Structure 1
Amino acid sequence: MISSDFGAAHLMLFGFLCLVVSRQYRFLWVVLFTARRDLRGLLRLIRMTLYFREARRKDLTVVRIFEETVKRNPDKIAFRTGDRQWTFRQVKGIINRIANCFLQLGFKSGDEVCIFADSQPEFVMMWLGLSKIGVVSALVNNNLRSQPLIHSLLSVPSKAIIFGLAQVKEVNDVAAEVLRERAEFKFFCIGAAENASRINYMNLKKLIGSSPSTEPQTNHKGSLNDKLVYIYTSGTTGMPKPAVIKNSRFVSLVSILNKIMPVEQSDVFYTCLPLYHTAGGIVAIGQALLFGNTVCVRPKFSASKFWEDCIKFEATVTQYIGEICRYLIAQPETPLQRKHKIRMIFGNGLRPQIWTEFSKRFNIQDIREFYGSTEGNAHVINIDNTVGAVGFVSRIVKSIHPVRLIRINSDTGLPERDARGLCIPCEPGEIGELVGEIRKNDHLHSFDGYASDEATKKKIYRNVFGENDAAFASGDLLVMDEYGYLYFKDRTGDTFRWKGENVSTSEVEGTISRILKMADVVCYGVQVPGTEGRAGMIAVEDPYDLIHLNSFVDEIRSSLPAYAVPLFVRKLRRLDKTGTYKLKKVQLQKEGFDIEEIEEPIYFLQGDTYVLLDEATLRKIQLSQIRI
Structure 2
Amino acid sequence: MKRAINVCVLTTTTAAVNKGVNQSALWAYAKLLRYTKRHERLNHTVADVFECNVRETPDKLAVISETQQWTFRQVNEHANRVANVFQAQGYKKGDVVGLLLENRAEYVATWLGLSKIGVITPLINTNLRGPSLLHSITVAHCNAFIYGEDFVEAVAEVSKDLPAELLLFQYNNENNNSTADAVKTAKNLNKLLSAASASAPNKTQVNHHDKLVYIYTSGTTGLPKAAVISHSRYLFIAAGIHYTMGFKDDDVFYTPLPLYHTAGGIMCMGQSVLFGSTVSIRKKFSASNYFADCAKFNATVGQYIGEMARYILATKASPHDRAHRVRLVYGNGLRPQIWPQFVERFNIGKVGEFYGATEGNANIMNHDNTVGAIGFVSRILPKVYPISIIRADPDTGEPIRNSQGLCQLCEPNEPGVFIGKIVKGNPSREFLGYVDAKASAKKIVKDVFKHGDMAFISGDLLVADEKGYLYFKDRTGDTFRWKGENVSTSEVEAQVSNVAGYKDTVVYGVTIPHTEGRAGMAAIYDPNRELDLDDFALNLAKVLPTYARPQIIRLLTKVDLTGTFKLRKVDLQKEGYDPKVVSDALYYQTAKGRYELLTPAAYEQLQRNEIRF
- Report how far residue 24 of structure 1 moved: 7.2
Task: Verify the 8 A CA contact 1:146 1:559 in the aligned structure 2.
Answer: no
Inter-partner Cα distance in structure 1 for 2:321 and 2:9: 47
1:517 maps to: none
1:594 maps to: 588
* Distance change >3 Å, CA 121–CA 487, structure 1 → 2: same
Task: Verify the 8 A CA contact 1:368 1:382 in the aligned structure 2.
Answer: yes
2:196 maps to: 211
Q: 2:155 aligns with which of 171, 181, 187?
A: 171
2:476 maps to: 492
2:455 maps to: 471
Gaps of 5+ in 1: 1-22, 497-524, 542-555, 576-591, 604-611, 613-628
| Greater mean deviation of Cα atoms: 453-462 or 38-47 | 38-47
Inter-partner Cα distance in structure 2 for 1:559 and 1:257: 26
Letter in 1 for 2:117: I
Alignment partner of 1:322 is 2:306: yes
Letter in 1 for 2:313: I
1:93 maps to: 77
2:607 maps to: none
1:161 maps to: 145
2:90 maps to: 106
* Distance change >3 Å, CA 596–CA 206, structure 1 → 2: farther
* Distance change >3 Å, CA 495–CA 59, structure 1 → 2: farther
Cα deviation code 1:504-550 (max 9, x no counterpart): xxxxxxxxxxxxxxxxxxxxx97743348853889899xxxxxxxxx
Inter-partner Cα distance in structure 2 for 1:165 and 1:602: 46
Alignment partner of 1:183 is 2:164: yes
Task: Verify the 8 A CA contact 2:561 2:568 in the aligned structure 1.
Answer: no
Inter-partner Cα distance in structure 2 for 1:159 and 1:394: 47
Inter-partner Cα distance in structure 2 for 1:129 and 1:472: 32
Cα deviation code 1:405-464 (max 9, x no counterpart): 111124543110000001111010100110011111111111101001100000001111
1:10 maps to: none
Letter in 2 for 1:529: S
Inter-partner Cα distance in structure 1 for 2:156 and 2:508: 30
Inter-partner Cα distance in structure 2 for 1:162 and 1:529: 39
Identity %: 43
Cα deviation code 1:171-207 (max 9, x no counterpart): 00001011xxx2201111102454456x311001111
Equivalent residues in 2 for 1:565-604, closer than 5 Å: 570-572=576-578, 594=588, 596=590, 601=598
Cα deviation code 1:251-271 (max 9, x no counterpart): 000001111111110000000
Cα deviation code 1:8-28 (max 9, x no counterpart): xxxxxxxxxxxxxxx978623
Letter in 2 for 1:389: A
* Distance change >3 Å, CA 325–CA 282, structure 1 → 2: same
Cα deviation code 1:293-322 (max 9, x no counterpart): 000000111111111111110000011123
* Distance change >3 Å, CA 400–CA 282, structure 1 → 2: farther
Equivalent residues in 2 for 1:262-411, closer than 5 Å: 262-398=246-382, 401-410=385-394
Alignment partner of 1:535 is 2:506: yes
* Distance change >3 Å, CA 438–CA 62, structure 1 → 2: same
Letter in 1 for 2:144: A
Task: Verify the 8 A CA contact 1:437 1:472 in the aligned structure 2.
Answer: yes
Inter-partner Cα distance in structure 2 for 1:168 and 1:312: 32
* Distance change >3 Å, CA 571–CA 600, structure 1 → 2: farther
Letter in 2 for 1:202: K
Inter-partner Cα distance in structure 2 for 1:492 and 1:533: 21
Give the secondary structure class of the aligned counterpart of 1:96: helix
Equivalent residues in 2 for 1:169-248, closer than 5 Å: 169-178=153-162, 182-191=163-172, 192=178, 194-196=180-182, 199-218=184-203, 220-234=204-218, 237-248=221-232
Inter-partner Cα distance in structure 2 for 1:413 and 1:113: 35
- Report how far residue 560 of structure 1 moved: 9.2
Give the secondary structure class of the aligned counterpart of 2:368: coil
Task: Verify the 8 A CA contact 2:326 2:348 in the aligned structure 1.
Answer: yes
* Distance change >3 Å, CA 420–CA 601, structure 1 → 2: same
* Distance change >3 Å, CA 262–CA 493, structure 1 → 2: same
Letter in 1 for 2:167: K
Give the secondary structure class of the aligned counterpart of 2:307: helix
1:459 maps to: 443
TM-score, structure 2 length as denominator?
0.79
**Count of residue pairs the alignment pairs up:** 521
Task: Verify the 8 A CA contact 2:374 2:472 in the aligned structure 1.
Answer: yes
Equivalent residues in 2 for 1:24-173, closer than 5 Å: 27-173=11-157
Inter-partner Cα distance in structure 2 for 1:247 and 1:86: 23
* Distance change >3 Å, CA 98–CA 403, structure 1 → 2: same
Give the secondary structure class of the aligned counterpart of 2:158: helix
Inter-partner Cα distance in structure 2 for 1:573 and 1:364: 45
Inter-partner Cα distance in structure 2 for 1:279 and 1:364: 20
Equivalent residues in 2 for 1:252-263, closer than 5 Å: 252-263=236-247
Task: Verify the 8 A CA contact 1:236 1:475 in the aligned structure 2.
Answer: no
- Report how far residue 231 of structure 1 moved: 0.1
Gaps of 5+ in 2: 1-6, 173-177, 481-491, 513-557, 604-613
* Distance change >3 Å, CA 202–CA 280, structure 1 → 2: same
Letter in 2 for 1:456: S
Task: Verify the 8 A CA contact 1:136 1:227 in the aligned structure 2.
Answer: yes
Task: Verify the 8 A CA contact 1:237 1:494 in the aligned structure 2.
Answer: no
1:623 maps to: none
Inter-partner Cα distance in structure 1 for 2:259 and 2:349: 27
- Report how far residue 236 of structure 1 moved: 7.8
Inter-partner Cα distance in structure 1 for 2:328 and 2:424: 34
Inter-partner Cα distance in structure 2 for 1:255 and 1:187: 34
